[in-house]
Amino acid sequence: MIVRADTVAATGEHSGRSLEAKLRAAQRRRKLKAVALVAPLFLFIIVVFVFPILSILYHSVDDPKLPLILPRTAEVVAQWDGGALPDEAAYEALVNDLRDAYEAKTAAVIGMRLNYEISGFRSMVMRTARRAKRIEEPPYQASLIGLDERWGEIEYWRAIKASSGPFTTRNLLAAVDLERRWDGSVGRAPPERTIYITYLTRTFWISLWVLVYCIAIGYPMAYLIATTTSQRLSRILLVLVLIPFWTSLLVRTAAWVVLLRSEGIINDFLVNVGMISEPLSLIFNRIGVYIAMVHILLPFLVLPLYAVMRNIPDSHMRAAGSLGARPVSAFLSVYLPQTLPGLAAGSLLVLILALGFYITPALVGGASDQMLGYLIAEFATRSGNWGMSSAVGVLLLLGVAVLYPVYRALLGRGAIRLV
């Protein structure tokens, strides 16, 4: 008793539009609703986060100051080949530009910029700018050199040319202790500037050791919390890990500052108990940095590790035992491999966080314990050197980015799971 197709009354739809088109229209409406919900946040993140991060890349190579403040000079110097001292036209341009700059009060800015090229350039520029309006007619070259004989030295003109922008590789090269020479070759920067690789290696070194300590202490802790038979104890221990996790980084660092000082609680206790006669130096050095950083980052390792360990059934180790494996080898071949995803996730988290640390080493470390983040902050907020802070920022970003493929390679694709 099948109702036959020819009894159907034609209503509404006529089969003119294809099935796919109708389907797509319905799907499009649903997608639009979902997009409308996600769009506000998406746009917000793009504007307030993604765009600024990308702008760091831009600022690492951006060099707008000279063409802006000394436009005529920039133009003339662009034609100059740098082989011998430039001619009168350049000096004329420079005098005019410096006079304008002095009036516009931008001379200090360009002085600062040029100082990055050659030390002492800033005071030279300031002095010349102040007197520039007195030089009203040729010979400009002689007058300038009369003001300061360094204007007759070719390095200074080459420095000007190197700063004419609009883009420069200066910052990026400097961030890895290199500089571009006059002949175009790239070589090691002068010793007073080759601090960056040191900072980079130090940052990685400290981060890796922090990770090692975190694993050494954290793995057993996670294991204990995950395998404790008493549910209550497990919860309590977990809360004990969560408390420091929820306490702000600054508060914890502050606590360590209070504890580790030479007149601090720890030293006081040790002296009173008679274990030592002189207070230990626990702060403003590497030890303090390690102690504080491990303290802050330990929960980041324990929590993901615990989450994975929790799901490993007890029966696995028992099965291994019943099959003849001794505890150590059972652990190594059955338990440990299954904890690797959690270990990998926690380690990645700890490393990424550690590499970016700067507050804690700034508060509990000494001069030789500062990390890349410190340089970034100093350049940006203290010396206003956006170019260098961006370049070091790029360096840090690359350092962090390199972690992902390394992890993938070491632990295989499935090892990294976010959250």
Q: Within 270-329, which residues bind other proteins (CB under 8 A)?
A: 295, 298-299, 327
**Contact window for other proteins (CB under 8 A) among 42-50, 140-148, 182-190, 406-414:** 42-50
**Cα–Cα distance, 88 to 270 (Å, whole number):** 74
Interface region with other proteins, contact rule CB under 8 A, candidates 96-104, 174-182, 214-222, 280-288: 214-222
Q: Which is nearer to other proteins, 34 or 367 (CB)?
A: 34
* String of DSSP letters for 14-65: -TTS-HHHHHHHHHHHHHHHHHHHHHHHHHHHIIIIIHHHHHHHHHHHB--H
Pick left, alpha or beta for residue 140 (phi over 0 → left; psi -120 to 50 → alpha; otherwise beta): alpha
Alpha helices in 261-370 (DSSP H): 265-273, 286-309, 314-322, 327-330, 336-355, 359-364
Peptide bond into 67 cis (omega under 30): no
Cβ proximity to other proteins: between 251 and 402 the closer is 251
Q: Which residues pair with 388 in a beta bridge?
A: none
- Region binding other proteins by CB under 8 A among candidate stretches 44-52, 99-107, 125-133, 273-281: 44-52
CB of 190 to other proteins, least distance (A): 26
Nearer to other proteins, 102 or 358 (CB): 358
Residue from 174, 221, 297, 330 in contact with other proteins (CB under 8 A): 221
Render 146-178 in DSSP notation, one character per residue.
HH-GGGGSHHHHHHHHHT--SB-SHHHHHHTTE
Q: Closer CB to other proteins, residue 341 or residue 361? A: 361
Decide whether 33 or 105 has the Cβ nearer to other proteins.
33
d(CA 208, CA 215): 11
> Residues 351 to 410: which contact other proteins by CB under 8 A?
352-353, 355-356, 358-359, 363, 373, 376-377, 380-381, 386, 389-390, 393, 396-397, 400
Can residue 330 be called a binding residue for other proteins (CB under 8 A)?
no
The footprint of other proteins on this chain (CB under 8 A) covers a number of residues equal to 104
d(CA 234, CA 236): 5
Pick the piece of the chain touching other proteins (CB under 8 A) from 72-80, 126-134, 186-194, 233-241.
233-241
From the CB of residue 207, how many other CB atoms can be counted at a distance below 10 Å?
23
Say if residues 236 and 404 touch (Cβ distance below 8 Å). no
Torsion of CA 261, 262, 265, 270, to 10 degrees: 140
Which residues 239-268 are close enough to bind other proteins by CB under 8 A? Answer: 239-244, 246-259, 261, 263-265, 268
CB neighbours of residue 84 within 10 Å: 9
Q: Which is nearer to other proteins, 138 or 414 (CB)?
A: 414
Applying CB under 8 A, the span of 29-37, 111-119, 156-164, 167-175 interacting with other proteins comes to 29-37
CA distances (Å), origin 310, targets 39, 233, 314: 37, 14, 10
Stretch touching other proteins by CB under 8 A, among 16-24, 78-86, 162-170, 179-187? 16-24
The mark string for 335-354 relative to other proteins (x by CB under 8 A, - otherwise) is -----------------xx-
